[in-house]
């Protein structure tokens, strides 16, 4: 096995007569090889892009060639979440909950313009402009919708990313895991990302004190009209 273009070398001297029968590898290579060839996507879709995802798994495009045909009905058994479709704010708590239920190592592939950045519904009151606002996305696949070939290319790109990972540096298996639990956003007049709660509180207090100061000014001088 090679490490990029460089062949891996052994510290142990290998006798000439058995050198053809010995396979030199590294822990990283085995670890990455087993993960990249058995990525099990989660079987869930959000909108029209999901139809393309479904047909990618069917016989014509045959995702099984890459070890990815086993779409799982449970996040507990899935390695990769393909966010395929429009991410509405109503769906976000569910998507985040499903992500949290996936065991690590786990990956997120954002499929299509909607999941990447809101797509044609970007300005919609009910649409999140990009699933990466909440989840760590590994690969983005552009298109509206992306073709099955594009999705396969995205998954191959994910495999290449996995090839580059080292067990010593991956974010999981660590005490302060940055990909760990994502707080489930709260739905209200707008989506509330609990990770931003301090900033939101600070802005709300600032706004409140500005309004108070403005009110006091207007009370002192009624000829002033408050900014609206």
Binding span for ligand SF4 by CB under 6 A among 74-82, 89-97, 112-120, 149-157: 112-120
* HSE-CB for 67 with a 13 A CA cutoff: 13
56 binds ligand SF4 (CB under 6 A): no
Question: Which of 176, 180, 204 lies closest to 192 in space, CA to CA?
Answer: 204
Check binding of 127 to ligand SF4 (CB under 6 A): no
Is 114 a binding residue for ligand SF4 by CB under 6 A? The answer is yes
Stretch that binds ligand SF4, among 42-50, 63-71, 122-130, 204-212 (CB under 6 A): 42-50
Q: Does 119 bind ligand SF4 (CB under 6 A)?
A: yes
Answer for the pair 171, 177: CB distance below 8 angstroms, yes or no: yes
Residues facing residue 7 across a β-bridge: 2
Closer of 111 and 162 to ligand SF4 (Cβ): 111
Cα radius of gyration rounded to whole Å, the chain: 24
Verify binding: residue 112, ligand SF4, rule CB under 6 A.
Answer: yes
Told to check if 47 binds ligand SF4 by CB under 6 A, we report yes
Alpha helix positions (H), the chain: 27-36, 49-57, 92-101, 112-117, 148-163, 197-220
Contacts to ligand SF4 by CB under 6 A = 47-49, 85-86, 112-114, 119-120, 144-145
């Amino acid at each position: 096995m090679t490490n990029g273009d460089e062949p891996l070398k052994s510290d142990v001297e290998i006798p000439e007569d058995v050198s053809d029968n010995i396979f030199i590898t590294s822990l990283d290579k085995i670890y990455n090889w087993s993960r990249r060839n058995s990525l099990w996507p989660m079987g869930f879709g959000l909108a029209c892009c999901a139809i393309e995802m479904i047909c990618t798994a069917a016989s014509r495009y045959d995702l099984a060639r890459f070890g990815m045909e086993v779409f799982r009905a449970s996040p507990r058994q899935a390695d990769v979440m393909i966010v395929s479709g429009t991410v509405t704010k109503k769906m976000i708590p569910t998507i985040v909950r499903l992500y949290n239920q996936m065991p690590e190592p786990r990956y997120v592939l954002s499929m299509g313009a909607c999941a990447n950045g809101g797509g044609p519904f970007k300005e919609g009151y009910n649409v999140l402009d990009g699933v990466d606002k909440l989840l760590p996305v590994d690969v983005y696949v552009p298109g509206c919708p992306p073709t099955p070939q594009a999705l396969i290319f995205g998954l191959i790109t994910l495999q290449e990313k996995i090839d580059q990972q080292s067990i010593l540096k991956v974010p999981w298996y660590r005490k302060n895991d940055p990909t760990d639990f994502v707080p489930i956003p709260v739905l209200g007049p707008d989506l509330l990302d609990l990770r931003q709660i301090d900033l939101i509180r600070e802005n709300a207090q600032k706004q409140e004190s500005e309004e108070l100061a403005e009110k006091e000014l207007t009370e002192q001088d009624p000829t002033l009209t408050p900014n609206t």
